[in-house]
Structure 1
Amino acid sequence: MKNILITGVSSGIGYTTAKLFLDKGFLVFGSVRKKEDAAALKEKLGANFHPLLFDVIDEEAIKKASLEVENILDGASLDCLVNNAGVSVNGPLAYIPIEEFSSQLNINVLGVLRVTQAFLPLLGFDNNRPKGRIINISSGSGRVTRPFMAPYSASKYAVEALSDGFRRELNDFGIEVTVIEPGPIKSEIWNKAKADAETQVNKYKNTPYEKIYDNMDKAVQGMEGIALEASEVSNLIYGIYEGKKNKTRYLVAPKKWLFWLAIHVFPDKFLDKMFQKQFKKLVEEK
């Protein structure tokens, strides 16, 4: 039976990808952080779903999970690893607490490194197993940095670099590495973003950014309004697995052409002015 391991399957892209691959007849390993999530997903997704209980910052738990997967595969290879788990922590760089920034890097960047290192042997690295592939979920924010999203962007730029490094270092071993860069995706993250926007109104009161954060909920609502379905990313992951997609990176976003121009054409100063205009408008809104 073909198999795949996906980190962060409780909701969003992770969940829809797990469900899609189960529907295609795969054995799906999915990581969750809470026992209750593991039990609920097992009941909901069925016999071919195998929950793995680990946080991507917990190296020992990840190693334990890799041994669990190895035991279940019983000599077979892991066909595909999808590094999806991550968090979004944002705020003005002048004020964001260092521990919050550091925690995000630990989860979004070192989490990818820990999980990949642990499962590389099962993907066929340095042994005679058939070779698997790695798909890393980055973000459009890993190519373009919006104001007040720099902490998240920094983590996703790092995922881009990690992916390039792994791809070039694993090329001779036959393990392919692909990056997916989603734009706004419909998920529970928007409820959190709205709650964060409300919290940050008080957090950044009496700072030069007070007026911006008074209206930040409008910016969040605007992004949510153009968000794509998570299934669009899941379908792309399946296409990559099937070998129908063979580029090194894929951007999945509304107004994809605008992202492309921002990445490849627009000068930095042009983008600076564009974002300045957007946030000036936000300040002026009542």
Structure 2
Amino acid sequence: MNLNNRRGIITGAGQGIGRALALEFGRRGGHLLLVGRQLATLTETARLVAAEGGTTEILVEDLTQSGAVERIAHAVASWSTVDLLVNNAGNVWAGRLELTSNADVHSMIDLNLTAPILLTKTLLPALRQSATESGSIILNISSGIALVGMPFYSVYAATKSGISQFGESLRRELTGTGVHVATVYPGATDTAMMTSQTAGAELGWGRRPLDDVITDLITALEAGEHEINTAPEGRREMQQLNITDPMAVDAALAPGLESLELAVRDHRSI
């Protein structure tokens, strides 16, 4: 796929994967609407994109709030082309299910699953119309947890599995329209979202540098891939085992459950 001169929206653009993708599309001549909750982080992303040669607009928005999707659509309504949507914004709360508040359950579902579905639905007419020129891209950021459900992440895993299946179904629905739907499955990545979690490689949570993850992601997207797995080889072995013998994964994780719970109990970005 040609990623040059894209015009579109990136949610969660203030940090991490969202900011890194904004820089990638910016250096390819993109014009981007950066959406996020913090003006300061979005402003910094915009500055970095400009240094790479791209242009931006900023919209401070909480995607879980009423009317947010409509305000995003209004912000790009005057654009002649909308051929990129990156559904990246997300949050996480880790811990035992019975200790998870109802508010945190709703927060994860609302931001990780409901918001990208509604935003995609609202922007799809513009994406379809723009696809007649150079094709449009819908890029959904899922998680490696959608491929191997990890203990103490049950709600987060549900939302990321949901966005994965949303993308797969929509991809098939849009066959032949020129709208390319891709889903990314990052493993543990060294971003600010992971700073409150201390699980390391010994517990199966070895982190990849953000730059490496983005390089793999962009390379796969340019190659036209739809399912983009950026996990390291060791993690992929567990993902394959989870397909062929899921109970073996249960057995492998069981001895480290107590240590894992301690390591992730403060993992929270809500």
Q: For residue 58 of structure 1, what is the aligned residue in structure 2?
A: 65
Matched residue, 2:183: 179
Q: CA deviation at 1:132?
A: 0.9
How many angstroms apart in 2 are the aligned matches of 1:90 and 1:18? 28
For structure 2, the residue ranges without an aligned partner over 5 or more in a row are 263-270
* Percent of paired sites with the same residue: 22
Q: Is the 8 A contact 2:149 2:157 kept in 1?
A: yes
Between 173-182 and 47-56, the greater mean CA deviation after superposition: 47-56
Which position in structure 1 is the counterpart of 2:241? 262
* Structure 1 partner of 2:251: 273
- Is 1:32 aligned to 2:72, yes or no? no
CA distance 1:63–1:224, change in 2 (3 Å): farther
Distance change >3 Å, CA 127–CA 82, structure 1 → 2: closer
Partners of 1:35 and 1:281 lie apart in 2 by 37
Q: Deviations over 1:154-186 (max 9, x none)?
A: 111111121122112222433221111010001
1:161-240 equivalences under 5 Å are 161-193=165-197, 217=198, 219=199, 226-240=206-220
Shift of 1:261: 2.1
State the alpha-carbon separation in 1 of the partners of residues 209 and 173 from structure 2. 33
Whichever of the two has the greater Rg, that structure is 1
Partner of 1:15: 19
The Cα shift of 1:6 comes to 1.4
RMSD: 2.8
Q: How far does residue 221 in structure 1 lie from its aligned partner after superposition?
A: 7.8
CA 1:4–1:182 in 2, change beyond 3 Å: closer, same or farther? same
SS at match of 1:28: strand
Residue 112 (structure 1) aligned with residue 123 (structure 2): no
Q: How many residues align?
A: 255
Q: What TM-score, normalized to structure 2?
A: 0.83
Question: TM-score if structure 1 supplies the norm length?
Answer: 0.78
Compared CA separation, residues 268 and 256, structure 1 to 2 (3 A): closer
Give the counterpart letter for 1:264 in structure 2.
I
Corresponding residue SS for 2:162 = helix
1:132-155 alpha-carbon deviations (Å, 9 max, x no partner): 121111011011111111121111
